[in-house]
Amino acid sequence: MNKKILTIQDISCFGQCSLTVALPIISAMGIEACILPSAILSTHTYQFKGYTFRDLTEDLPLISKHWKQEKLTFDGIYTGYIGSTKQIGYIKQIIKDFKKNGDIVCVDPAMADHGKLYPGFDNEFVKEMKTLCAMADYIVPNITEACYLLEKPYMAEYTKEDIEALLKELASIGCPNVLLTGVSFKKGELGVASYNKEKDEINYYFRDQVPYFFHGTGDVYASCFFGALIKGFNLQKAMKIATDFTVDSILETVEDRDEHWYGVHFESALPKLITSLKGNE
């Protein structure tokens, strides 16, 4: 039986991030992707100037109301970039209304990186995001976001013990499965760490680090990770699939990085992703 999921995040009409990444990746994985856009932007906000922004906050409860009238259902809910504290309140109600037993809720608390919150976010947003994370089955923060969620100073340097303590503290928020991205213990290597609270199990997966920055890779990762979970892969296998796909997407873009600075060529990596899923079908 084909799975059907709901993903809630913004649409950047140009630039590969948020829904323009989540929709094609999840669809390519053989999952029906239904969308709830939180805002529409002409471009994403990284290095573009003068972009347009249409706030859809008040559309969220209206769309949800119509879906309830139509008795629509989903097999999972995945949230990405959320534009405001008020939107988080609406999204929490949507999760309460539509999550059924066995459904997966995955929250990417996309709000910070490199030790700082994104523009427009404040401590009140962080507090509300923490309550959304508590409703999730899986959360996918980077190290900056993890520190904000736990009200800790940003850890520019850390040990393996620091990371494992961070994972367990994140799980104490209320989410039983935590995936921490951007983890590195040695130069030239970058990967992810995961924690399953029920099993009290920590796992790592690393790849060689590509020495360039590309926008939107967090959205590529989270979308693929969620899709793999919906396909039935466990936490450890899903994080490996998502890491490999993200790295493949970056490698497809390296030679074109000066012109294609606004995202990654994830489309070219989709055939390898589809092949990697066949072992669980």
Provide the β-strand partners of residue 39. 55
Query: Taken in order 92, 32, 29, 249, is the CA torsion positive or negative?
Result: negative
pLDDT band at 278 (very low <50, low <70, confident <90, very high): confident
CA distance linking residue 162 with residue 140, whole number of Å: 17
pLDDT in tens, 213-261: 888 999 999 999 999 999 999 999 999 999 999 999 999 999 999 889 8
pLDDT band at 46 (very low <50, low <70, confident <90, very high): confident
201 close to 195: Cβ distance less than 8 angstroms: yes
Q: In whole angstroms, what separates CA 79 from the centre of its chain?
A: 7
Alpha helices per DSSP H over 197-234:
217-230
pLDDT band at 155 (very low <50, low <70, confident <90, very high): very high
Task: Give me the pLDDT at residue 275, please.
Answer: 95
User: Which residues have CB under 8 Å from 92's CB, separation 6+?
Assistant: 131, 132, 135
User: Which residues have CB under 8 Å from 72's CB, separation 6+?
Assistant: 98
Query: Is 90 exceeded by the pLDDT of residue 28?
Result: yes
Query: Is 80 exceeded by the pLDDT of residue 111?
Result: yes
Q: What is the mean pLDDT of residues 18-43?
A: 96
User: Which residues have CB under 8 Å from 248's CB, separation 6+?
Assistant: 269, 272, 273
230 close to 276: Cβ distance less than 8 angstroms: no
Q: Which domain holds residue 217?
A: 4-280
- Mean pLDDT, the chain, integer: 95
Q: What is the CATH number of the domain that holds 158?
A: 3.40.1190.20
pLDDT in tens, 51-103: 899 999 999 999 999 999 999 999 999 999 998 999 999 999 999 999 998 89
Provide the β-strand partners of residue 117. 112
pLDDT band at 280 (very low <50, low <70, confident <90, very high): low
pTM of the model: 0.95
Task: Give me the pLDDT at residue 279, please.
Answer: 64
CA distance linking residue 24 with residue 172, whole number of Å: 33
| Count of structural domains within the chain | 1
Query: Is 80 exceeded by the pLDDT of residue 1?
Result: no
Q: What is the mean pLDDT of residues 184-213?
A: 95
